[in-house]
Amino acid sequence: MTPKHRPTPKHGPTPKHGPTSKHGLTPKHGREGRLDPKVRELIHVAVDGAATHLYAPGLRQHIKNAIALGATRAELMEVLELTATLRIHACNIGVPILVEELTEAGQKPDIEFDARQEQLKAEFQEKRGYWNAFWDEMLALDADFFEAYLRFSSVPWVSGVLEPKVKEFVYTAFDVAATHLYEPGLRQHVRNAIGYGATREEIMEVYEIAATLGIHSCTLGVPILLEETNGAVPG
């Protein structure tokens, strides 16, 4: 079941200090089938705001850019809520290892679901629109924790304002970012995005935006370099 969503508002004026395409550091915009400018900025917000990066200067700039392009407080808050679900990957990676090691030690856990767990699985599928086998062991080992995550992660899907495709772009962006590279989630959310109508061109641009993260080595490092050398870098 896919939640109903509101149409994305039309974007406003071009921000004064938007991302540059000089030297090919960011995608060339305006090509047919590519992302709306506001959505591009929302993706930048997800990449910079992810727990694996937390790049405050870029986060502030891209929030400003998104607002200048017509993004609402609710839309930006939803991007941050979606991005905050990255936390669960500690369990997505850790639980299978725990199960393997328990099995090796002769303590293989029971993965069969009881009635409550089956209900939680069905609720997840209804609210989030998919199921992946990597949720099975987590649900089996700690149904209370899984339920808490279900409530938390479902908020944008139950009462959010972004269209489902854009929600999936947010997940895709922080999963593919060089600071995370979480392949199981990336594959799932690319599949979901395609199911919601995303084109390969749109998904490629999400990747391209995430790839700009590398320039932050310079945007953080160069000012420090200049400070430590009193503004004069030896040749």
Q: What percent of the chain has pLDDT over 70?
A: 84
Q: How many beta carbons lie within 10 A of that of residue 104, not counting itself? A: 9
Q: How far apart are CA 140 and CA 181, in angstroms?
A: 26
Q: How far apart are CA 169 and CA 43, in angstroms?
A: 7
Q: Amino acid letter at 43?
A: I
Architecture of domain 33-228: Up-down Bundle (1.20)
- Distances 92 to 19, 99, 143, 157, 210 between C-alpha atoms, Å: 33, 12, 14, 20, 22
Q: Is the pLDDT of residue 1 over 70?
A: no
- 21-79 pLDDT tens trace: 434 445 555 455 599 999 999 999 999 999 999 999 999 999 999 999 999 999 999 99
Q: What is the pLDDT of residue 230?
A: 85
Q: What is the pLDDT of residue 4?
A: 40
Q: What is the pLDDT of residue 32?
A: 56
- Distances 81 to 2, 75, 156, 161, 175 between C-alpha atoms, Å: 18, 10, 7, 12, 15
Q: What is the pLDDT of residue 31?
A: 57
Q: Is the pLDDT of residue 18 over 50?
A: no
Residue ranges of domains in the chain: 33-228
For the chain, the 3-state helix, strand and coil shares in percent, each to the nearest 5, are 65, 0, 35
pLDDT, average across residues 139-152:
98
Q: How confident is the model at residue 233 (pLDDT cuts 50, 70, 90)?
A: low
Q: What is the pLDDT of residue 20?
A: 41
- 182-196 pLDDT tens trace: 999 999 999 999 999
